[in-house]
Homo-oligomer: A and B are copies of this chain.
Amino acid sequence: MMARTGRRPGNADTRQQIVDVARAQFAEQGYDAVSLRAVARGAGVDPALIHHYFDGKSGLFAEVLQLPLDPATVLPAVLSGDLDRLGERLLRFFLELWESPETGPRMRAAVRAALSSEQASARLGDFVVREVLGRLADRLGSDRALLRATLTGTQLIGLAVVRYLVQAGPLRQASIEQIVAAVAPTLQRYLTGRLPTDRTDTAEQG
């Protein structure tokens, strides 16, 4: 048997301890404010051990919230490739996540949990802005890229709410191809299309 020391050795208990500390810190301070260093300190482990178990802060957060995947791991593949087809690629990837018997139930649970309270919404919101919308905006590299990415996010989450959470109306039965045909142009317009500038508004906001 190993002797106990101040710093916990790497084993299953330690991994769980890291997750528990991270859950508490994320809940209290929000995604952006938590550092892996602070989590390591709270768990009494070396920061390197967190990197051994988790793929960075986003991976640790995905684990804490039991998200079905870590955007940092999967997004690069979706974002690479033709910008002119990015709307359709994002949509298909998103729909597959919700359709899959493996990831779908966890997506539903995560979104229901995230929308259950203001605090939970803000917690997931920070993460999504940083790790999903931020990455998408970086890929666009255009004017108002984060606004474009966020508008894209509104259409995707609204589609998920109606088709997978509320399961209302004709969208429940619609096929993936019907949805792609109807919705991909919306996403593509938000991503790379003309985004009208409102002059009144710019003037008002100085």
Contact = CB atoms under 8 A, between A and B. Distances in A.
**Which of A115, A117, A166, A181 has the most B CB atoms < 10 Å from its CB?**
A166
Contacts of A178: 198, 201
A154 B151 contact: no
Interface stretch (A43-51, A70-78, A81-89, A121-129): A121-129
Nearest to A200: B177
B112 A112 contact: no
Contact of A158 (B122, B156, B182): B156
A24 interface: no
A112 B116 contact: yes
A102 interface: no
A95 interface: no
A150 B169 contact: yes
Contacts of A162: 150, 153-154, 157
Interface in A162-192: 162-163, 165-171, 174-175, 177-178, 180-183, 185-186, 189-190
Contacts of A189: 185-186
Contact of A128 (B133, B166, B190): B166
19 contacts: A112-B115, A115-B115, A115-B165, A121-B167, A122-B167, A125-B169, A128-B168, A129-B169, A133-B168, A133-B169, A147-B174, A147-B182, A150-B168, A150-B169, A154-B158, A175-B204, A180-B198, A185-B189, A186-B186
Given A115-B116, A128-B168, A153-B162, 5 more contacts: A122-B166, A147-B174, A154-B163, A175-B198, A175-B201
